[in-house]
């Protein structure tokens, strides 16, 4: 189980700020994103803009293999605009 934290637009789309999800311990970053989108299909619209962080380290969506431990933190950070 991992803790998923949603920020800004991802929190709006998911309808919550954090939750615990059960996912395989070995999973690619893209598969992890797909598991999260399965739980919250509205997140699919930000797929190409989202920044993904696992244990406070940025991860690109792709075939990078993650070795998750129970309680690991996964953050979904959409692009932040400002001026």
Structural domains counted in the chain: 1
Element (H, E) at 57: strand 57-59
Residue 38 in domain: yes
CA 77 to chain centre: 8
What is the model's pLDDT at position 82? 55
Burial (CB count <10 Å: 0-12, 13-18, 19+), residue 34: middle
The whole domain housing 13 covers 2-77
Residue-wise pLDDT tens digits, 3-33: 999 999 999 999 999 999 999 999 999 999 9
Per-residue pLDDT tens over the stretch 69-78 = 999 999 998 8
- Report the CATH number at residue 19: 3.10.20.30
Q: How far is CA 1 from CA 26, 46, 55, 74, 81, in A?
A: 12, 24, 13, 11, 31
Q: What is the mean pLDDT of residues 46-60?
A: 90
Is 82 among the domain residues?
no
User: What integer best gives the mean pLDDT of the chain?
Assistant: 92
């Amino acid at each position: 189980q991992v803790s998923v934290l949603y920020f800004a637009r991802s929190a709006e789309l998911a309808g919550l700020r954090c939750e615990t999800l059960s996912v395989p311990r070995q999973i690619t970053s893209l598969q992890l994103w797909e598991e999260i989108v399965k739980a919250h299909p509205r997140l699919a619209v930000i797929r190409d803009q989202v920044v993904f962080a696992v244990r406070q380290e940025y991860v690109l969506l792709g075939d990078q293999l993650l070795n998750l431990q129970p309680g690991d933190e996964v953050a979904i950070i959409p692009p932040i605009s400002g001026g």
